[in-house]
Every structure is written in structure tokens, then in C-alpha cells.
Homo-oligomer: A and B are copies of this chain.
């Protein structure tokens, strides 16, 4: 299992660490709300921090985004471990559900699937290493149609992730249809 790259080092001093974390949280929210191109000044404002502080911790918008993104990906990896005890199909669908539910950086994940950058490549690899075994296991157990690839499924789910739903119930329903579509 590859290590997720740590884009930025957490600062040493207590106050600096507080700011760092506040920035990360604010960025997570802002990215989730407004997509990749949220205003950095707005993020600093949300974090109750000067714009200069933001730039010292994350010299580039990319750096900031990566820091948020890396966290998300890491969660995905942890979930993969947790669900691996379940039966093949349940494990896969549980993992995919987390993929939909917790991917706060939703829109970003979609873009990321295609974006070229060392860090994105790395995260894509991590994501695949986390999910693909679950997928293969389900497929070998005859729970997933044999002509589907993990990439297909991931992109399908990513697409749904970006969709707009009336309520959680509808989202779950639609998600269920999609999953149903890859059964043999």
C-alpha cells in the first residue's frame, strides 16, 4: 500500500498549528461549496486568519487543495480496511457508499480523476489500491458482472456524486439503482 504524500508539513508552534488546522477546515468547506476555484481570501477569512498566513502555510492554491484532498483519500483507504471483513458484495458497496457520502471535495474528485499532476496520480493510485481489491473480490465471487471494470464503476459513482438530489433518500435510491446495474 503506497503512502499518501504529505504535501505540507504541520507547523511547530501551538498557535501556528491552530491556524493551520483552521485553514484546512475552512478550505474543506469552501472547496466543497464552491469547487476548486474557491476564493483563497475567503478561505482565510473563514479561518479567521490573514491572507498572509494562508500563503505561508500553502504557497500555492494547489498545495492547499492537495492537503485537503489527501485527507479525503486517506479516509477512503481506512474505510477499505474496515469493510474488508464483510462479504464481497457488501464490502464493495459499503466502500463505494463512503465514496459518495464522505467525499466532501466532491466536484474536485471528479476533476481529479482526469487531472495530470504527480500528486493526483499518486492519490489515484492510492484510491485504486484501496478499492480495486474489493472490486475484484466481488467480481470473482460472481457478484459483479464480468465485463465491468473498476474504473467504470468509480467514474459512474463519481458522476452520481456530483449530481443534485432532492434528499438523502433519493440519493440512496439512485445510488442503489446504479449499483444494481453492475450486478451480473
A110-B164, A113-B164, A114-B164 as given contacts; A177 in contact with B152, CB under 8 Å: yes
Contact of A121 with B by CB under 8 A: no
Docked Cα-Cα span, A113 to B177, in Å, equals: 19
Contact of A102 with B by CB under 8 A: no
Closest Cβ neighbor of A114 among chain B residues:
B164
Q: How far is the CB of A171 from the nearest CB of chain B, in Å?
A: 9
Q: How far is the CB of A170 from the nearest CB of chain B, in Å?
A: 6
Contact of A181 with B by CB under 8 A: yes
Residue in A156, A160, A161, A180 with the greatest tally of chain B CB atoms within 10 Å: A156
Contacts of A113 in B (CB 8 A): 164
Contact yes or no, B162 A163, CB < 8 A = yes
Contacts of A160 in B (CB 8 A): 156, 159-160
Contacts of A163 in B (CB 8 A): 110, 155-156, 158-159, 162
Contact of A41 with B by CB under 8 A: no
Residue in A113, A160, A176, A182 with the greatest tally of chain B CB atoms within 10 Å: A160
Residues 107-159 (chain A) with a chain B CB within 8 angstroms? 110-111, 113-114, 148, 151-153, 155-156, 158-159
Closest Cβ neighbor of A182 among chain B residues:
B177
- 10 further interface pairs, Cβ-Cβ under 8 Å (given A178-B181, A181-B181): A110-B162, A110-B163, A114-B164, A148-B173, A152-B173, A153-B177, A159-B161, A159-B163, A162-B163, A177-B182
A-B contact pairs, 23 of them (CB 8 A): A110-B164, A111-B164, A113-B164, A148-B173, A151-B170, A152-B170, A152-B173, A153-B177, A155-B164, A156-B160, A156-B178, A158-B163, A159-B160, A159-B163, A159-B174, A162-B162, A162-B163, A177-B182, A178-B178, A178-B181, A179-B181, A180-B181, A181-B181
